[in-house]
Amino acid sequence: MVKAFQVNDSNYDGRFYVGVRSTGIYCLPSCKAKLPKLENVAFYPNREEAIAAGFRGCKRCKSESFPDVLPKWLHDVLTYMKNNYDARLTESKLTGMTPVDITTIRRYFKNHLGVTPLAFHRRLRLIHARELIESGVNYLQAAYECGYESSSGFREAFSRQYGCPPGRLNGK
Ligand SMILES: [Zn+2]
């Protein structure tokens, strides 16, 4: 991915997205903007995860419109998910914040992300928990901030997503 991004390989456009922490923008691998330092770069398998991590689309490579234009309601959903890692998300909450019905939301997530919207939220919560732990936060605290009421439930979900228990990451 690093290589594809460094040589602006457009064959990889849509296969992953590049978040640039120093600018808060996410790009296509082919973006011709000045190459950021690698330590400021994070890779995402899809736009939705990049947006949920707080990145905005790039005006230069139009990353927000590739391969298609994102529905407007999706931004509200992703922003809510990002700001509410500890919330009990329900489908009725989702329809309450968008003008579309649950069938449309479910279909979008299934087609673009391969999971239900609630499963995507759970994935984001674990990504956030992992970031917290990697930045030195105790895993019980990370579990709490991501809405897990029991540490065993958190350990189980975390191990399922990452193949190792959360304590393994920072030795606690
Ligand atoms: Zn760009």
- Residue-wise pLDDT tens digits, 97-143: 999 999 999 999 999 999 999 999 999 999 999 999 999 999 999 99
Q: Indicate which residue of 20, 31, 53, 74 is catalytic.
A: 31
> Sorting pLDDT into bands at 50, 70 and 90, what band is 170?
low
Q: Indicate which residue of 4, 25, 50, 58 is catalytic.
A: 58
Residue 67: asked if its preceding bond is cis (omega within 30°), the reply is yes
As given in the structure block, the two tokens for residue 161 are 């997503």
| Å from CA of 18 to ligand 1 middle | 9
pLDDT at 81 over 60: yes
58: annotated active-site residue: yes
Query: Cα 103 from chain centroid?
Result: 22
- Across the chain, mean pLDDT equals 93
31: annotated active-site residue: yes
pLDDT at 172 over 50: no
| Å from CA of 1 to ligand 1 middle | 15
For the segment 51-63, the average pLDDT, to the nearest whole number, is 95
Q: Which of 86, 172, 87, 85 is nearest to 134 (CA)?
A: 172
pLDDT at 25 over 50: yes
Q: Indicate which residue of 61, 74, 129, 133 is catalytic.
A: 61
| Å from CA of 19 to ligand 1 middle | 9
At what angle are helices 72-83 and 117-134 packed, to 10 degrees?
A: 40
Q: Hey, is 130 helix, strand or coil? A: helix
pLDDT above 70: percentage of residues in the chain: 98
Q: What is the pLDDT of residue 168?
A: 75
pLDDT at 79 over 80: yes
pLDDT at 161 over 70: yes
